[in-house]
Amino acid sequence: MPNAVFTKLQDARKTGRKLFALLIDPDHLRLQYLDQTVALLNRTPVDLVMVGGSLLLDERLEECLSYLRARIELPILLFPGSALQITSKADAILLLSLISGRNPELLIGQHVTAAPYLRSSGLEIISTGYMLIDGGRPTTASYVSHTLPIPANKPDIAICTAMAGEMLGLRCLYLDAGSGAHQPVSPEMIRQVRENTQTPLIVGGGIRTGQQLHERLVAGADMVVIGHAVEEEPQRLMELSGVVDRFNAQITRKTV
Ligand code: 1GP
C-alpha cells in the first residue's frame, strides 16, 4: 500500500497509540541472534522492523533484508547511514536529513546522489529531520557524520531545530541519542519538541528499561526505536514491546 508506513506514523500521532520499532544493525549480524529475534518477532507486538546502521557493508544489508523478508510479515523500514544503503527489498526508507549538524553532505549532498536510485527503487520515502542528541558519550553516528550532537540540556536548540525541519517540509522528526547511548533523550526534551511541532516524532538511542521506555511514551514519542538492548538480550523484546502494548491498551480503554 502506498504510504503505508507514514500512515502508521501519522495515525500514531493523531490517536496517541504508540509504535514500537526494532532496529537491526546488519553490522552486528549474527545468525543465531537473528534466528532468535525473528522467532520472538513473530509473537510480540512489534509494529516495524528498521534495518540500518552508521557503518554498513552493503552485502550484509542485502543479506539481512533477504533473511528477514523470507521470515517476517512486518513492514521493513530502512534507516540508512549513507546513500549506499538503499535496497528495494525493504518497504520504506527514512530519508534522513541530519538537521542537528552542519555537514552539507548529510543535509542534502547524499540525497542528490541517491535521488535517481530512490525514484526507481519503489520504496516509500519518508523525509525525516534527524537530530542527534548528546547521549553522554561519543557515538558512531556523531563520529561518522562529523557533527556535534545537540547538548542534552538545551531543549531550546532542539525545539528550534525541530520547528525549522518541520517548516522545511520534512514529514517526520527523529530524536536520537545514538545507538548504545548512556543517556536516552530526556523526557523533557521530547515533551518540548512534541509541544512545538505537529509531525510524527520518533525517539531512540540508549533506551534499555521498561521504565525509560514508558517515560518517553508519556513525554510524547509516537514511535520508539530499540536496538542495542534487544541485541544484547533478545528476550528483552517481549518486555519492552509489552510496555508499548500496555500503554496502547490503556488508551483504548479510555476511549471506549
Ligand atoms: C539508534 O535509535 C537507535 O540510532 C536505537 O538505539 O541501539 O541504543 O537502542 P539503541
Beta bridge partners of 77: 50, 92
Check: CB of residue 10 under 8 Å from CB of residue 221.
no
Strands 172-176 vs 201-204: parallel, antiparallel or unpaired: parallel
C-alpha cell at 165: 525541519
Could you say which of 3.20.20.390, 3.30.830.10, 3.40.190.10, 3.30.565.10 is the CATH number of the domain covering 4-255?
A: 3.20.20.390
Q: Is residue 26 pLDDT above 90, yes or no?
A: no
**Dihedrals phi, psi of 92, to nearest 5 degrees:** -150, 165
Q: Is residue 98 pLDDT above 60, yes or no?
A: yes
Q: Is residue 29 pLDDT above 70, yes or no?
A: no
Q: Is residue 114 pLDDT above 60, yes or no?
A: yes
User: Which numbered atom of ligand 1 lies nearest the CA of 204?
Assistant: 2
How do the domains of the chain map onto residue ranges? Answer: 4-255
Give the confidence band of 58 by pLDDT, cuts at 50, 70, 90: low
- Nearest to 6, CA basis, from 120, 124, 117, 88: 124
Check: CB of residue 219 under 8 Å from CB of residue 194.
yes
Instruction: Judge if the beta carbon of residue 52 lies within 6 A of ligand 1.
Output: no
Q: Is residue 126 pLDDT above 60, yes or no?
A: yes
Residues contacting 51, CB < 8 A, separation 6+: 23, 24, 25, 26, 61, 64, 65, 68, 76, 77, 78, 79, 90
Instruction: Judge if the beta carbon of residue 204 lies within 6 A of ligand 1.
Output: yes
Percent of the chain with pLDDT over 70: 96
Give the confidence band of 2 by pLDDT, cuts at 50, 70, 90: confident
Instruction: Judge if the beta carbon of residue 23 lies within 6 A of ligand 1.
Output: yes
Give the whole-angstrom CA distance, residue 139 versus residue 246: 31
Instruction: Judge if the beta carbon of residue 224 lies within 6 A of ligand 1.
Output: no
Give the whole-angstrom CA distance, residue 82 versus residue 27: 14
Give the whole-angstrom CA distance, residue 180 versus residue 137: 9
- Nearest to 38, CA basis, from 65, 72, 12, 13: 72
Residues contacting 131, CB < 8 A, separation 6+: 98, 99, 100, 150, 158, 161, 162, 165, 173, 174, 175, 176
- Nearest to 243, CA basis, from 216, 219, 220: 216
Which of 226, 230, 233, 237 has most ligand 1 atoms within 8 Å of CB, for mutation? Answer: 226
C-alpha cell at 4: 503505508
Q: Which H or E run includes 128?
A: strand 124-132
Q: Is residue 60 pLDDT above 90, yes or no?
A: no
What distance in angstroms lies between residue 4's CA and the mean position of ligand 1's atoms? 23
Nearest-Å Rg of the Cα atoms of the chain is 17
DSSP one-letter code for 220 = T
What distance in angstroms lies between residue 254's CA and the mean position of ligand 1's atoms? 31
Over range 19-40, report the average pLDDT.
Answer: 85
Check: CB of residue 130 under 8 Å from CB of residue 100.
yes
> From the centroid of its chain, how far is CA 68?
18
Instruction: Judge if the beta carbon of residue 228 lies within 6 A of ligand 1.
Output: yes
Q: Which H or E run includes 175?
A: strand 172-176
Residues contacting 164, CB < 8 A, separation 6+: 99
Give the whole-angstrom CA distance, residue 133 versus residue 153: 9
